[in-house]
Structure 1
Amino acid sequence: MLVANPRAVRAPYPAELKSLMSIERAQESRLWLSPWPELARGATPLYELPDLAAKLNVARISVKDESVRSPLGSFKALGAPIALVRQVLRLHPDLDPAALLTGRHAEMLKDYTVISATDGNHGRGLAAAARSVGCRCVIVLHANVSLEREQAIAVHGARIVRIAGNYDESVEEAARLAAAHGWQVVSDTSYDGYEDIPRDVMQGYATIAAEIVEQTGAVANEAGAFTHVFLQGGVGGLAAGLASYLWEHHGAQRPCFIVVEPRQADCLFQSALQGRAAKATGSVDSVMAGLACGETSPLAWRFLQPGIDAFMTIEDGAAVQAMRVLAAGSGRDIPIVAGESGVAGLAGLLALRRDAAWSQQVGLDECSRVLLISTEGATAPAVYEELVGEPADAVLKRQAAWLAR
């Protein structure tokens, strides 16, 4: 399903949004994150896929590969850590922010506890950051989070709490536990009276956009390398973080932004239809575990309502197909390991190019230059192997051979 957003605007980045998230604040976050040992020292790769572009009859397809951002395997390594740093600074403003993630103030913070609900990657990022900072961490997991993802979080020393419900119920349980024990919620979704930390999480994601600007030589207030940018849905945090940065940089010449989410977790699609932050209409259970969210973040929606041009939903099978397309590679296209949530943008692009009316609706044609964000690698290796039909290590071996040619 596709819906054009009638509330999207082509204008300079609004001052009221800039007061919440800005390029200046994003660059500050990059600086504070840079000493963290869990992050790669350089920018993640921006790969070109000329064979796929030719097959889909577009001028260019580029993929930003976030699987190598961190040993944690996803872009979430940019959000929770900077949110934790900023929250500690609210309590102790005299501390050196760049020193927090290196553990210099661990003794002071040993009795401080943070908590969050997660589908996997956010909790893994928060657990790793808490261990580095020196504080305690509790992670609430819902019934559909795999044991493999639970173990990947627990290895960082977090205490795991399991509930029987879905993601949104795990968010409620995390808030209840925090209130009962005096713990601090560090979540990527906002709710009434809770916006500062989700904003910090979203601002951390803007590092991806900053690198794209640098990698493509984009000039401020001019059209950039890409006409269309596909972004994952979820609660809206990633889309808001990247779209806000690129909107501020390009101004009225910003690219067309398209947000993609699972059909059964269509909270952003429903928000576009209703003109307000809304809930999903489906079961929320999706193979795209990181996007299986039932409620739109109201804070993220403040950026998405004026900044996103179209919203679409995809079936789980489309995501699996997209995983296999990236894994296969070709003569000119590098094989890429992309997890089930990481391929939503490509799945959306494939769906659009199969439908001439949809392509026309978003201005997608043979001259279009498309940017995709592969937000995660094989963060659940067994799930990846089951869906793709080969282990991630085999794909990485073929990738290494492709690069060595």
Structure 2
Amino acid sequence: MFLLNQHPDYRTPLEPVDAKTLGVPAAEEVERYLTYRDNHAPTPLHTLPALAAELGVDSVHIKDEGFRLGLGSFKALGGSYAVIRLVLEEARCQLGRAIDVAELHAPEVRAVTAGMTVACATDGNHGRSVAQGAQLVGASAAIFVHSGVSDERVAAIARFGAQMIRIEGTYDDSVAEAARVAAEKGWTIVSDTSWPGYERIPGLVMQGYTAMVREALRQLPEAPTHVFVQAGVGGVAAAVAGHLALALGDQRPTFVVVDPARAACVFETARAGRPVRIDHGEPTVMAMLECYEPSLVAWRVLSRVADAFMTVDEKDAVAVMNRLARPTGNDPAIVAGESGGAGLAGLMRAAADPEIRTALHLNGASRVFVINTEGATDPERYAELVGMRPEIVATTPRRADA
């Protein structure tokens, strides 16, 4: 399914609060925070010339977030950044003075954070980031996971010392339960989705994601003409689209939001012209994108700066995983998890459809940017779908300039 943005707010300026959250100064502040992370390094940007030739575009560049902060996902940028910001704000309130990130490990700050508990719901990646952030600052973490989250992903979160709480139902059910329990216990919810009355903290999470856009703009030889980014609740798509619109202005690329067909809450919201909750159906292989209600903040941004919305099927996601693992020509081998290549799957589907190509002005001069949002966050599942262990794919020789 494909549709162009027909919302009345399309191409209007972002709300001031969103422009402040996602603008260049905010992104630069996120990058400053990252300099205080021991394992911080920019993630690689790869060129896929063989795939670009097959798709009939000038270039395809893919940002590989499988290397982000040791967590294997772009989510490492959001939850932990929000936790750090919230800890510093609480320390400022209790200590009565401004507290900079450089003081994060000062004894008086650690004494404040030792009494804090942060909580969230997760499909896997966001919870890992929140748990890592809590461990980094010396706070406690309680992570709510629904019945569809694999034991491997639960174990990957628990290794950061988080209390793991299993609930029945879907991701959206876990969001509701996390909010309920946190309210009872006085915990701080650090969610990557927003709802009425709860917007600032999801905004901080989205702000964290802008760091990878700043990196990409420095790494790309030219600004992209087209960007395809996957959506769960919409946070990463909104962060990327919003920052590109603010940083590049009239030169911003055509931005396409890609949803799993089985969990297309952002697509259906775009079709309805307002946030909608969709029915839970058969699970999608794109587990990190299996969300049934969009983030209100994310939709507020995407309604203004997304140009089109589309869906991809299960087979599209698995095909991209395999294509990246077994590249042709001089393209490098890339480990992409089940949700990681959904944006690229959208590009491949769009490039194969003459009507969509025309609607997006996708042609031989197009410079396309996509994000591999996760590596093999569940290695066993990856091996099942690709037929190779992720460590084998990761050690495939790469060209020095790839």
TM-score bin, normalised by smaller chain:
over 0.9
Could you tell me whether the CA contact under 8 Å between 2:276 and 2:294 is conserved in 1? yes
State the alpha-carbon separation in 2 of the partners of residues 337 and 256 from structure 1. Answer: 26
State the alpha-carbon separation in 1 of the partners of residues 112 and 210 from structure 2. Answer: 30
TM-score (norm 2): 0.94
Could you tell me whether the CA contact under 8 Å between 1:77 and 1:125 is conserved in 2? yes
State the alpha-carbon separation in 1 of the partners of residues 194 and 70 from structure 2. Answer: 27
State the 1:271 CA deviation.
Answer: 1.0
| 5+ residue gaps, structure 2 | 93-97
Count of paired positions? 396
Could you tell me whether the CA contact under 8 Å between 1:139 and 1:159 is conserved in 2? yes
- Which residue of 1 is the match for residue 374 of structure 2? 376
Per the alignment, in what secondary structure is the counterpart of residue 60 of structure 2? strand
- Superposed CA deviations along residues 181-219 of structure 1, whole A, max 9, x for unmatched, are 1111000001111111100000000001111221236xx
Q: Is structure 2 residue 393 aligned with structure 1 residue 395?
A: yes
The one of 364, 367, 374 aligned to 2:365: 367
State the 1:175 CA deviation.
Answer: 0.4
- Which residue of 2 is the match for residue 238 of structure 1? 236
| 5+ residue gaps, structure 1 | 218-223
State the alpha-carbon separation in 2 of the partners of residues 188 and 163 from structure 1. Answer: 18
Per the alignment, in what secondary structure is the counterpart of residue 19 of structure 1? helix
State the 1:97 CA deviation.
Answer: 1.8
Q: Is structure 2 residue 245 aligned with structure 1 residue 251?
A: no
More moved, 328-337 vs 130-139: 328-337
State the alpha-carbon separation in 2 of the partners of residues 147 and 11 from structure 1. Answer: 44
- Which residue of 1 is the match for residue 95 of structure 2? none
State the alpha-carbon separation in 2 of the partners of residues 101 and 161 from structure 1. Answer: 28
- Superposed CA deviations along residues 215-239 of structure 1, whole A, max 9, x for unmatched, are 236xxxxxx5211101111111101
State the 1:34 CA deviation.
Answer: 1.8
State the alpha-carbon separation in 1 of the partners of residues 16 and 194 from structure 2. Answer: 21
- Which residue of 1 is the match for residue 33 of structure 2? 32
TM-score (norm 1): 0.93
- Superposed CA deviations along residues 12-66 of structure 1, whole A, max 9, x for unmatched, are 76656323432111211211122112x433x211111000001111111100111
State the alpha-carbon separation in 2 of the partners of residues 139 and 330 from structure 1. Answer: 41
- Superposed CA deviations along residues 254-312 of structure 1, whole A, max 9, x for unmatched, are 10000111111111001111111222345272111110011100011111001001111
Could you tell me whether the CA contact under 8 Å between 2:267 and 2:309 is conserved in 1? yes
- Which residue of 1 is the match for residue 260 of structure 2? 262
> Aligned letter for 1:90?
E
State the 1:403 CA deviation.
Answer: 4.3
Distance 1:65 1:102, change over 3 A: farther
State the alpha-carbon separation in 1 of the partners of residues 33 and 395 from structure 2. Answer: 34
- Which residue of 1 is the match for residue 5 of structure 2? 5
Q: Is structure 2 residue 201 aligned with structure 1 residue 197?
A: yes
Could you tell me whether the CA contact under 8 Å between 1:266 and 1:279 is conserved in 2? no
More moved, 268-277 vs 97-106: 97-106
> Aligned letter for 1:264?
R
Could you tell me whether the CA contact under 8 Å between 1:266 and 1:282 is conserved in 2? no
> Aligned letter for 1:140?
F
- Superposed CA deviations along residues 310-341 of structure 1, whole A, max 9, x for unmatched, are 11111111100000111112231000011111
Per the alignment, in what secondary structure is the counterpart of residue 69 of structure 1? helix
Per the alignment, in what secondary structure is the counterpart of residue 164 of structure 2? strand
Could you tell me whether the CA contact under 8 Å between 1:267 and 1:281 is conserved in 2? no
- Superposed CA deviations along residues 156-201 of structure 1, whole A, max 9, x for unmatched, are 1000000111000000010011011111100000111111110000
- Which residue of 1 is the match for residue 77 of structure 2? 78
More moved, 18-27 vs 325-334: 18-27
State the alpha-carbon separation in 1 of the partners of residues 200 and 11 from structure 2. Answer: 27
Could you tell me whether the CA contact under 8 Å between 1:75 and 1:376 is conserved in 2? yes
State the alpha-carbon separation in 1 of the partners of residues 248 and 12 from structure 2. Answer: 10
The one of 174, 179, 189 aligned to 1:175: 179
Per the alignment, in what secondary structure is the counterpart of residue 293 of structure 1? coil
- Superposed CA deviations along residues 103-137 of structure 1, whole A, max 9, x for unmatched, are 88333311210100000000001111101100000
Could you tell me whether the CA contact under 8 Å between 1:334 and 1:402 is conserved in 2? yes
Q: Is structure 2 residue 216 aligned with structure 1 residue 216?
A: no
- Which residue of 2 is the match for residue 152 of structure 1? 156
> Aligned letter for 1:72?
L
Distance 1:81 1:99, change over 3 A: farther
Per the alignment, in what secondary structure is the counterpart of residue 152 of structure 2? helix
> Aligned letter for 1:165?
G
More moved, 258-267 vs 351-360: 351-360
* Percent of matched pairs sharing the same residue: 44
> Aligned letter for 1:355?
D
